[in-house]
Amino acid sequence: MSWFDKLMPSRIRTQRRSRSVPEGLWVKCEACSAQLYRAELKRNLYVCPKCEHHLRIGARERLEMFLDANSEHEIAAKLEPQDPLRFRDSRRYRERLSTAQKETGETDALVVMAGTLKAIPLVAAAFEYRFIGGSMGSAVGERFVRGVQYCIEHRRPFVCFSASGGARMQEALFSLFQMSKTSAALAALGESGLPYVSVMTDPTMGGVSASIASLGDINVAEPRSLIGFAGPRVIQQTVGETLPEGFQRAELLLEKGALDMIVDRRKVRDEIASLLAKLTDRPEVS
Amino acid sequence: MDLKFLGFEQPIAELEARIDELKFVGDDSEVNVSEEIERLRRRSESLTRNIFSNLSAWQIAQLARHPQRPYTLDYIARCFTDFQELHGDRMYADDASIIACIARLQGQPVVVIGHQKGRDTRERVMRNYGMARPEGYRKALRLMRLAEKFRLPVITLIDTAGAYPGVGAEERGQSEAIARNLIAMAGLRTPIVSLVTGEGGSGGALAIGVADRVFMLQYSIYSVISPEGCASILWRSADKAEAAAEAMGITAERLLKLGLVDEVIAEPLGGAHRDPQATSEAVKNALLQALAELQPMPPDELIAARRKKLFGFGVYKEG
């Protein structure tokens, strides 16, 4: 943000959201270092055309590219996070929240939309990783539950794209209990006979991995995503040796049986639409 | 076994040491020291009362991790009868860091599941310091399903630093094992009562902690991450664990006020390890009371109430 933007009161700033991929005409692929033309990269859904690395993307972009154009409306958009513990470390939690809100244009780390996917009505949720590491606190948990409840009410499938470091420390036990709260919502969804597809993207760790992300009727991941419970550094400290190559990457998880499939971002619409059509007894989608 | 004192209990430890010395003298001298001993005892007690009336979150965390604190097996021995341990997840292994058994609570059959830390080095290694791997959570789930099938209530005793962060645990699906328990417990058609006896460490605790009633012992803690872990991430220094413990509000008293747990069970003066028998009796009474309330409920009603409680967790603003 320029000095001029900073002078303006936040409510009149026009720029509503920034992107995970840094602004500019050219973008450098963090995996192969190739210089990529932004417009082309965007057309390619932020997958590097040279090495197929999947760049991290924001929640809103994710849902825009996943759902049919102009089909969507947001659920529980007006929910806002609170600071029940008046938490303060090196910074106040309230400050961290307002910084994250300004930087992302989101009120919290989960965006939930009702819309259609190839004309199949559904609800899709996506984590915004740039919002305090996509961490799950009370507002995220409540939004997730509202999304699931909408599905139960309107007989729709649910899809969630996770990108999260885990439970949000600043809401302490409230955050931990979002794991059981969101899982309880998924229990109800399952009892209603409605499918849930979990799409794990880079990274999906900790409390999010150990609740909603692992509970899909179908568990999908994007290529090369880091997925696990404990962080690699913590494990390395515990075991005291270097971690094996490819540890906690989607490909290894597939090999170990934790995933149904790894899906290239450019195929996500096709694959999930085909799955949902079969699970909800609809004709083949094109 | 000699009582071990924590850093903040040092003044008490010194008094107790003097009492022991006097006792030794009293045994083989003609000087009558019993009055002096009695005087020091009273002082020790009032000092303990004083120190324990104003404990910080960090001091309580140390008590929760006290090496002499009663563990799951101690509660099983004191609160339950006719105890039979059951082993294995039927898929991979038996995880000794989680005890699972069928026992009787005042004659009534129940399933008891709890983390078990070790007392000495050998046992600690065998129990993996009470940190479960996926097979531990899957064993717990298997026993919960057994309980559901035969209509036995489930009692879980929580005391873990967290789920084990290891290569094998990750590769066998630590996340999935925890998540599976959360969703299963949210729909288990039999009463579940959980008690945090020591450390309620993160997902590894919650994986057996989704319940109709959640109790905490007075000097137990329950948190999303250990104070040390929180400090090293947010303060970038593990030395700030004390501040992190305070900020996260990990104590039973605070969590009761926040509405996150249902009841705090008082511990004897000086902590549960000073009088495991009295602690166990208080625990037993609380469990019996909870089961008396929950058991008459039809399963559908029970689950509806449990979910209502789960959906109620969280503080947010409806803008």
> Would you state the pLDDT for residue A14?
46
Q: How far is A61 from chain B (nearest CA, A)?
A: 23
Q: Is A209 on the interface with B (CB under 8 A)?
A: yes
> Would you state the pLDDT for residue A15?
47
Residue B235 and residue B182: Cα distance in Å, rounded?
30
> Would you state the pLDDT for residue A19?
52
Query: Does A212 score more than 90 pLDDT?
Result: yes
Instruction: Please name the residue that has the structure tokens 């959980």.
Output: B194
pLDDT band (50, 70, 90) for residue A228: very high
Q: Is A133 on the interface with B (CB under 8 A)?
A: no
Q: Which of A78, A174, A238 sits opposite B165 (nearest CB)?
A: A238
Residue with the bigger pLDDT between A240 and A219: it is A219
pLDDT band (50, 70, 90) for residue A22: low
pLDDT band (50, 70, 90) for residue A1: very low
pLDDT tens-digit series, residues B160-207:
999 999 999 999 999 999 999 999 999 999 999 999 999 999 999 999
> What is the rounded average pLDDT for all residues in chain A?
92
- Residue B32, φ and ψ in degrees, nearest 5: -85, 110
Cα angle at B172 between B169 and B176, to 5 degrees? Answer: 95
Segment (H or E) for A270? helix A268-279
> Would you state the pLDDT for residue A16?
46
Residue B213 and residue B192: Cα distance in Å, rounded?
7
Q: Give the range among A160-174, A224-238, B98-112 with minimum mean pLDDT.
A: A224-238
Whole-model pTM? 0.94
N-to-C CA span, chain A: 43
Buried-exposed string B20-35: b where 16+ CB fall within 10 A, e elsewhere: eebeeeeeeeeeebee
> Would you state the pLDDT for residue B2?
82
The first and second tokens of residue B201, run together, are 């460490």
Residue with the bigger pLDDT between B308 and A30: it is B308
pLDDT tens-digit series, residues B253-297:
999 999 999 999 999 999 999 999 999 999 999 999 999 999 999
Residues 6+ apart with CB under 8 A from B78: B70, B276, B277, B280, B281, B284
Q: Is A164 on the interface with B (CB under 8 A)?
A: no
Residues 6+ apart with CB under 8 A from A147: A75, A76, A112, A123, A125, A158
Q: Pick from B261, B310, B317, B318 the residue to mutate for testing the A interface (most A CBs within 10 Å).
A: B310
Instruction: Please name the residue that has the structure tokens 């035969």.
Output: B150
pLDDT band (50, 70, 90) for residue A7: low
> What Cα–Cα distance (Å) separates residue B67 from each residue in B2, B14, B63, B199?
12, 19, 9, 12
Q: Which of A170, A174, A215 sits opposite B179 (nearest CB)?
A: A215
> Would you state the pLDDT for residue A20?
63
Q: Pick from A149, A173, A235 the residue to mutate for testing the B interface (most B CBs within 10 Å).
A: A173
Closest CA to B215 of B198, B232, B193, B200: B193
Interchain CB distance below 8 Å, A181 and B169: no
In chain A, what percentage of residues exceed pLDDT 70?
Answer: 92
